[in-house]
Amino acid sequence: MAQTKKTEIREAILDAAYELFSKRGYSETNITDIARSADVAPANLYVYFRSKLDILFSIYDPWLTKQFDEMELSLRRIREPRQRLRRILATVWREIPSVDNGFANNLMQALATTTIREGYSPALRLAIEGRLARLLDDCLPHLGHAVSCELANIVLMAFDGYALNFHLNGEATCPAKRLAFFADMLLDYADNGASRRPALAAPGGRAGKRVAMNARQG
């Protein structure tokens, strides 16, 4: 007979896991720790989640989505493209890597120790990359969406690095001068180099497929 799932037990497991991941990190937390903190039996935990990775993604997905929701709200008050672009980069490279004691690094730890066979899916990465590409379209409309997709992929790879750097090097994130330099470089290229750049295929073409392949690797 299938066991009845209770919302309060599921939430207790997620709350316990969030606290442990935030304090110890993903690698130093195990299923027994989570079950004990949630006051449930380890076997009962598997009624609600397939694995520790499943628990992490059940937390990380809404957590990261919330960070992007808040960024988009802040962008509504910014009209000038340069300031909008700097706001995006500051959020992705400086703020999100440091939020909640560097919670983003838990995903870096998880991906370094898991495989697709253990249930990894690139769905969240692809969704966030697409969302970021659309935001970059607003700042750099002359470059085209295919270029925005490439840039979104690069920005997220750098985000991974800054999340790891925050964890390893005493809360270090992207220096403000580097952030401003990258934003200005992109805007200068958009303003002056658009007519000289090689054409990129639209998403779904060769360039679009390359972006999707890279995203699946992250």
Q: Model confidence over 150-166: pLDDT tens digits?
A: 999 999 999 999 999 99
Q: Where are the domains of the chain?
A: 1-49, 56-216
Helices marked H in the chain: 7-24, 31-38, 42-48, 52-75, 81-90, 99-102, 105-112, 123-139, 145-168, 176-192, 206-216
The rounded percent of the chain whose pLDDT value lies above 70 is 85
Mean pLDDT of the region 16-44: 95
- Taking alpha carbons only, the member of 49, 23, 27, 26 closest to residue 35 is 49
Identify the pLDDT of residue 112.
Answer: 86
What is the average pLDDT score of the chain? 86
State yes or no: pLDDT of 99 exceeds 70.
yes
Mean pLDDT of the region 53-65: 96
What sign has the CA pseudo-torsion 133, 114, 58, 167?
A: negative
Banded pLDDT at 122 (limits 50, 70, 90): confident
CA distance 70 to 73: 5
Query: What is the pTM assigned to this prediction?
Result: 0.82
- Taking alpha carbons only, the member of 157, 170, 171, 175 closest to residue 211 is 157
State yes or no: pLDDT of 199 exceeds 60.
no
State yes or no: pLDDT of 167 exceeds 90.
no
State yes or no: pLDDT of 193 exceeds 90.
no
Q: Give me the torsion for CA of 102, 104, 106, 112, rounded to 10°.
A: -130
Task: For residue 182, give both structure tokens.
Answer: 């990258």
Other CB atoms within 10 A of residue 140 CB: 21
* 206 contacts 213 by C-beta, under 8 angstroms: no
Task: For residue 45, give both structure tokens.
Answer: 């935990």
Helices marked H in 78-171: 81-90, 99-102, 105-112, 123-139, 145-168
Which DSSP state fits 126?
H
State yes or no: pLDDT of 196 exceeds 80.
no
- The fold of 1-49 is Arc Repressor Mutant, subunit A (1.10.10)
Mean pLDDT of the region 78-102: 94
